[in-house]
Amino acid sequence: MLLTYNDINKDVVERPDVCIIGSGAGGAVMADVLSGAGIDVVVMEEGGYYTKERYGTYKPIESLKILYRDYGSTVVLGKTSIILPLGRAIGGTTVVNSGTCFRTPEGVLDEWADTYGVVKASPKDMEPYFERVEKTINVIPVTPQGLGKNGLVFKRGADALGLSNGMLKHNMIDCHGCGRCAFGCPHDAKQAVHLNFIPSAIKKGARFYANAKAETIVLESGRVKHIEGSIINEQTGNRLYGITVSPKLLVLSAGAIYTPYILQKNGIKLSQELGKNLTIHPAARITSFFDEIIEGYKGVPQGSYVDAYSSEGIMLEGIFVPPEIALPVLQPIGIEGKKRAREYNNLAAFGVMVSDKNSSGAVRPGIDSGPLITYRLHPYDLKKLIKGIAVASEIFFAAGAKTVDPGVHGIQEFKSSRDIAQLFTRHLRTTDFEMMAFHPLGTARMGELAGHTVVDSFGKAHGTENLFISDGSVFPTSLGVNPQITIMSFSMRNAEYIIDNRKRFLT
Amino acid sequence: MAMKELKVFDQKLYVITQAIADTIMPSGGAFQTGANDVDAALLFDNYIDQFAKLPLKFVKTALYTIQYAPLFTRLKSFTGMSPQQRLRYLEGWEKSRFATKRNIFLMLKMLILMPFYSNDAVADTIDYHPGCLRED
């Protein structure tokens, strides 16, 4: 059963075995696995329920308004402001992410075991979960035909320079290459969790409440007693009814920003590490103009990668966005700026993501109705970003670009590869870079070192009897790659742990 | 006419926004359509109608700051300047070496231009015709 605010006409009271807050990569998988074992599950999701019949017709800026939090512009404060888009819908960020799939790098799993004492999460332990998740969401490589010209010109440049590159894997079936992964796939080719894990969980009896905002968690003597929230009218934002859920066990899957926030807001500290150690996988965009027509909006925007420097924590991955998102950023003001806009069809773009091993941030209750997110980019990670921008610029010139814009304040667009040296010879500060971030992790990290972690190796919160966390917040370090497969696989593993210990947790 | 349809701004803020939008995206040049040809100020107002309180306050404060800050340096408000003066003034914001000042303007510019470029007539003028690699 899936109910939205339209289906509800009185206060809701539920007494399930398990309540899950959040229906994204973590919550959807948890709901499916638990309900498959005969466990009674209720899921509360603040966002609405949308299908391709709705989001397939949205313009990109409408998708930002409807499918994302804060119009897709959640701000991370620091020396420079970083935009961190977060999805808010049944299916969570999987509805609006790029669809890129990576398994957790083996070195990362090893580090979690060695440094944080995470148990039973070795590459061998995780293999069956990766396989099951990938099968369910149909993970396959993007084909060169599906890449589109934006990806192809970058590949041409990387090949010319002899840099290792390839096609990314995506969760998709019969992709038409519409370039709209981040705004809701109009053909539902992208296999977000509202197309697989959630319908499967519903078939097994799970009850999903869309537009159900969890507000209060009542925890007494280490036990969650109940969760109180509101059914929200998604058109007006007004509260319609109350919802009270009294579960035997609560799973928080609201993501690395909202999971710590809802706990902090309710005075539930769990550990001094809660809300700290935020990593966001900072990214920069590099754009260039070609004589040839690119029409970069046709094809899979994030279809290919260059991993020649991945051992240094630098990944280059495709990006491309429609003009209403790209041009407001790229175009200078005035008549001169309009020339740039007119060349939109000749525009190519690629992204640089750096593994933030040294940087970190925090989530705290803010002064308004949401969290205050802060982040400090370490100079070492900034150096990686600069190197990534330089490499991407070289690749564009090798592919035949006329000009390259590194997206750095105070540096004019490059006219030739000789200009790239400015990135290293000029004194550049963090504030000079336009950055975005897409993968918040780490604010409730897992492990067996109680003083340094918030939850144990299976997501059970230290010092509580019936509270689990199962989302990106539990990962102790940056993955260096897109996290959806990792989140889903760990959630599947944690669900099985709960099932294996159901006498302990569910009686 | 526009006043009837405003959801967020009062008439004063609407006029300030019109002046800023027209400076960012004037008519003519590489393509004819400018901000005021499609009433970008109204599109902007309608787009941000579901902003939370804090970001809405940010937008209004930014608009008023751009309007009245030049009173201290140029003895004129933004709307009291000539089009050339407005352009130079906003370029000062856009290229400022003070990151906060620059970012406030860049955020505002982005919010004004997003609904502008989302307009079908504008998309047409830059030859943007959304489509897929495969249309079957």
Query: What is the Cα–Cα distance from A22 to A27, expressed in whole angstroms?
Result: 5
Q: How far is CA A353 from the centre of its chain?
A: 13
Crossing angle between the packed helical segments B11-24 and B83-94, to the nearest 10 degrees: 80
- Is there a contact between A53 and A71 (Cβ–Cβ < 8 Å)? no
A310 and A397, same domain (yes or no): yes
pLDDT at B10 over 70: yes
Q: Min CA distance, B61 vs chain A (Å)?
A: 16
Residues A191 and A330 in one domain: no
**pLDDT (tens digit, 9 = 90+) per residue, A129-149?**
999 999 999 999 999 889 999
User: Mutation test of the interface with chain A: which of B20, B128, B129, choosing the one with the most A Cβ atoms within 10 A?
Assistant: B128
Give the residue from A55, A33, A376, A444 showing the smallest Cα distance to A205. A33
Length of chain B: 136
* Ranges of residues in chain A whose predicted pLDDT is under 50: none
* A166 and A250 together in one domain: no
pLDDT score, position B3: 45
Angle at alpha carbon of residue A179, lines to A176 and A183, rounded to 5°? 110
Give A221's contacts (C-beta < 8 A, 6+ positions apart): none
From the list A146, A177, A322, the residue facing B130 with the nearest CB is A322
Do the strands A41-44 and A18-21 form a parallel or antiparallel pair, or are they unpaired? parallel
Interface predicted TM-score (ipTM): 0.94
B1: pLDDT confidence band, cut at 50, 70 and 90? very low
Q: Flag whether A456 is in a domain.
A: no
Q: Tell me, yes or no, if B75 comes closer than 8 A to chain A by beta carbon.
A: no
* Residues on chain A touching B114 (C-beta within 8 angstroms): 61, 324-325, 328
Q: Is any Cβ of chain A less than 8 angstroms from the Cβ of B121?
A: no
pLDDT at B52 over 90: no
Residues in A closer than 8 angstroms to B90, CB to CB, are 333
Residue A469: exposure state from Cβ atoms within 10 A (0-12, 13-18, ≥19): buried
CA–CA gap between residue A129 and residue A65 (Å, rounded):
34
Cα nearest neighbour of B29 on chain A? A335
Are B99 and A59 within 8 A, CB to CB? no
Q: Nearest-CA neighbor of B26 among A453, A337, A171, A398?
A: A337
User: Are A219 and A349 found together in one domain?
Assistant: no
Confidence at residue B4, expressed as pLDDT on a 0 to 100 scale: 58
Residues A252 and A396 in one domain: no
Kindly report the number of other CB atoms within 10 A of residue B52's CB atom.
15
Q: Are residues A268 and A328 in the same domain?
A: no
Q: Which domain holds residue A493?
A: 2-64+86-100+123-138+184-275+461-470+482-505
Q: Which residues contact A353 (CB under 8 A, 6 or more apart)?
A: A281, A282, A283, A314, A315, A316, A317, A388, A438, A480
Instruction: Return the residue of A nearest to B132 by Cα.
Output: A178
Count of domains observed in chain A: 2
Check pLDDT > 50 for residue B2: no
- Which residues make Cβ contacts (< 8 Å) with residue A427, sequence separation at least 6? none
Domain co-membership, A53 together with A153: no
- Residue A444 placed within a domain: no
Contact A328 B113 (CB under 8 A): yes
Query: Is the domain of A227 the same as that of A328?
Result: no
| Residues A492, A133 contacting (CB under 8 angstroms) | yes
Find the CB nearest B133 among A176, A329, A331. A176
Same structural domain for residues A399 and A291?
yes
Across the A/B interface, how many CB contacts are shorter than 8 Å?
A: 120
Are residues A54 and A130 located together in one domain of the fold? Answer: yes
CB atoms B114 and A61 under 8 Å: yes
Three-state secondary structure call for residue A388: helix
Same domain, A220 and A289: no
Q: Give the start-to-end residue ranges of the domains of chain B.
A: 2-125
Lookup: tokens for A242: 């109350």
Assess whether A264 and A132 both reside in one domain.
yes
Specify the 3-state DSSP secondary structure of A44. Answer: strand
Which of the residues A338, A339, A434 would you substitute to probe the B interface, choosing the one with the greatest number of B C-beta atoms within 10 Å? A338
**Beta-carbon separation of B114 and A409 below 8 A:** no
Considering CB atoms only, which of A298, A333, A431 is closest to B91?
Answer: A333
Looking at residue A199, which CATH number applies to its domain? 3.50.50.60
Q: Do B53 and A338 touch (CB under 8 A)?
A: no
Q: Give the CATH number of the domain where residue A421 resides.
A: 3.30.410
Alpha-carbon gap, residue B90 to B78, rounded angstroms: 9
Tokens representing residue A249 in the block:
């066990």
Q: A232 lies in a domain?
A: yes
Burial of B131 (0-12, 13-18, 19+ CB in 10 A): middle
